[in-house]
């Protein structure tokens, strides 16, 4: 029989038993739909994490205090702080790969001004901080090097602080008090949103680090140093260069461990995304089990169909059809069932993903590659689970099949 004729006969058989066809496809529909939704949510989460990490800055490297040991017990990260502004100066003057360097001095404070008060974090930074974080100002301007050298009491506030203190009015030119020290607002930072760990990047006040250190923090050691390179390719070499400069600055012997930690935003992104990737694969694998269940359903129904149509098969074989024709016919039926179920599942999965995004506000990323893979897998399920019933139908003897009651 011609292939076109075989396809027509197979489709007629599927349409003839429409209710059984829908029930047979249900497992494949649920499996493909579930895989589509799970992958869309997982990839959307990874994209959001990458976007949030990218918002931290351009080619950013973060130097934080190291750990200490007391009585043989490691006290954990940042438990031993020897970072100072001298280290920042050493990096700025001694590095060939770093394009920008800034110390970061953090001091919590109650900001009073405008129409209210708000507890936030004041960060003392250098002018390079704006370049490192790639942080524009929506109103006013960032402070300059002369403000840092002369310890001017000027501040650039985040969008959250601006909303809490001044609501809808432009705060540029207004004054706020930080621990009874008056600061003039010279700029408002553009919104950056939340980080991967959920903290609000806009809930911050930036001021010259010299002013914060002398007026607010009152301590020698600093929270961290941030730096950046001109290109992403320089990050790895720059981290090694930073380690050499800081070890020399801290007079560490060769046998002594680093008393600082150097990380880059790629490390942060990989750490944040690793858990999401594992969960995406796990959920997709669980959803994929539905495909196998659907495949078993297809095989079961196809075996029933072979039994019901034994006399029909015998008649076709008796009038000249070959066993291969019967095999191809039943294989086509199985493949059409699985692929059609896969198409319906993809449509349902995309619809479900959009509904989840609308209801929960989560970001989703519908991957064409994942959809294509799901359809291919659905077809493979049809071929795998449809082969045995088709082979069984093709191996029937015409006389035995015609005698079947």
The tens digit of pLDDT for each residue in 298-348 reads 777 777 776 666 666 676 667 666 767 777 777 777 777 778 888 888 888
pLDDT of the chain, 405 residues: tens digit per residue: 566 666 676 677 667 777 777 777 777 787 788 778 877 877 777 666 666 665 555 688 999 987 644 444 344 444 457 799 999 999 999 999 999 999 999 999 999 988 889 999 999 999 999 999 889 999 999 999 999 999 999 999 999 999 999 988 899 999 999 988 999 999 999 998 876 566 788 999 999 999 999 999 888 889 899 999 988 888 889 999 999 999 999 888 888 888 898 988 766 556 655 666 666 666 667 666 766 777 777 777 777 776 666 666 676 667 666 767 777 777 777 777 778 888 888 888 888 888 887 887 777 777 787 778 777 877 777 777 777 777 777 776 666 555 555
Strand partners, 207: 124
Q: CA 103 to CA 223: how far, in whole Å?
A: 8
Q: CA 122 to CA 107: how far, in whole Å?
A: 5
Q: CA 317 to CA 302: how far, in whole Å?
A: 19
Quote the distance between the C-alpha of residue 272 and its chain's center. Answer: 8
Question: Which pLDDT score, from 0 to 100, does residue 43 have?
Answer: 74
- What residue ranges in 165-296 does DSSP mark as E strands? 175-178, 181-189, 204-208, 224-229, 260-264
* Structure-token pair, residue 100: 């920008």
Rounded to 5 degrees, φ, ψ at 167 are: 55, -120
The number of C-alpha atoms within 13 Å of 168 and in the hemisphere containing its C-beta is: 0
Residue pair 123/106 in contact (Cβ under 8 Å)? The answer is yes
Residue pair 172/187 in contact (Cβ under 8 Å)? The answer is yes
Question: Which pLDDT score, from 0 to 100, does residue 355 have?
Answer: 86
* Structure-token pair, residue 166: 């001044």
Q: CA 152 to CA 148: how far, in whole Å?
A: 7
Question: Which pLDDT score, from 0 to 100, does residue 91 have?
Answer: 94
Q: CA 277 to CA 293: how far, in whole Å?
A: 25
DSSP string, 151-167: T--EEEE-HHHHHHHHT
**CA 365, 369, 375, 378: dihedral to nearest 10 degrees?**
-90
Residue pair 36/374 in contact (Cβ under 8 Å)? The answer is yes
Strand partners, 183: 176
The number of C-alpha atoms within 13 Å of 204 and in the hemisphere containing its C-beta is: 19
Residue pair 248/91 in contact (Cβ under 8 Å)? The answer is no
Q: CA 388 to CA 391: how far, in whole Å?
A: 5
**At 111, which helix (H) or strand (E)?**
strand 98-113
* Structure-token pair, residue 177: 């008090």
Question: Which pLDDT score, from 0 to 100, does residue 78 have?
Answer: 45
DSSP string, 29-46: HHHHHHHHHHHHHHHHHH
> How many secondary structure helices (H) and strands (E) does the chain include?
13, 12
Question: Which pLDDT score, from 0 to 100, does residue 79 have?
Answer: 47
The number of C-alpha atoms within 13 Å of 185 and in the hemisphere containing its C-beta is: 30
Task: Return the DSSP state at 82.
Answer: -
Three-class secondary structure of residue 104 per DSSP: strand
> Which residue shows structure tokens 């800081």?
246
Question: Which pLDDT score, from 0 to 100, does residue 125 have?
Answer: 96
DSSP 3-state helix, strand, coil percentages of the chain (rounded to 5)?
A: 55, 20, 25
* Structure-token pair, residue 51: 């976007």
Three-class secondary structure of residue 108 per DSSP: strand
175-178 and 181-189 beta bridge pairing: antiparallel
């Amino acid at each position: 029989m011609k292939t076109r004729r075989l396809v027509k006969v197979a489709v007629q058989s599927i349409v003839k038993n429409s209710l059984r066809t829908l029930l047979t496809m249900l497992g494949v529909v649920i499996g493909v739909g579930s895989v589509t939704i799970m992958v869309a949510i997982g990839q959307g989460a990874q994209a959001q994490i990458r976007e949030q990490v990218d918002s931290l800055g351009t080619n950013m490297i973060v130097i934080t205090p190291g750990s200490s040991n007391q009585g043989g017990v490691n006290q954990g990260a940042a438990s031993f702080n020897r970072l100072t502004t001298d280290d920042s100066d050493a990096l700025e003057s001694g590095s060939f790969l770093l394009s920008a360097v800034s110390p970061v001095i953090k001091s919590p404070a109650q900001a009073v001004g405008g129409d209210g008060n708000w507890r936030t974090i004041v960060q003392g930074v250098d002018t390079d901080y704006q370049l490192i974080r790639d942080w524009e100002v929506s109103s006013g301007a960032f402070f300059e090097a002369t403000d840092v050298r002369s310890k001017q009491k000027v501040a650039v506030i985040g969008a959250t602080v601006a909303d809490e203190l001044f609501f809808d009015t432009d705060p540029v030119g207004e004054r706020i008090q930080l621990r009874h020290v008056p600061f003039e607002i010279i700029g408002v930072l553009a919104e950056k949103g939340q980080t991967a760990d959920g903290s609000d990047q806009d809930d911050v006040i930036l001021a010259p680090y010299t002013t914060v250190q002398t007026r607010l923090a009152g301590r020698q050691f600093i929270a961290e140093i941030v730096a950046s390179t001109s290109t992403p390719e320089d990050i790895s070499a720059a981290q090694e260069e930073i380690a050499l400069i800081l070890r020399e600055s801290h007079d560490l012997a060769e046998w002594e461990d680093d008393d600082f930690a150097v990380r880059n935003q790629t490390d942060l992104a990989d750490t944040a995304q690793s858990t999401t990737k594992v969960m995406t694969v796990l959920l997709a694998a669980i959803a994929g089990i539905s495909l196998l269940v659907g495949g078993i359903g297809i095989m079961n129904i196809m075996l029933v169909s072979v039994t019901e149509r034994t006399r029909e098969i015998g008649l076709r074989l008796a009038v000249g059809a070959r066993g291969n024709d019967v095999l191809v016919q039943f294989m086509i039926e199985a493949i059409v069932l699985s692929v059609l179920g896969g198409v319906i599942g993809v449509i349902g999965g995309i619809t479900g993903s959009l509904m989840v995004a609308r209801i929960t506000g989560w970001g989703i990323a519908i991957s064409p590659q994942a959809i294509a893979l799901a359809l291919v897998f659905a077809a493979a399920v049809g071929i795998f689970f449809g082969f045995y019933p088709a082979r069984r139908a093709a191996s029937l003897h015409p006389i035995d099949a015609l005698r079947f009651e």
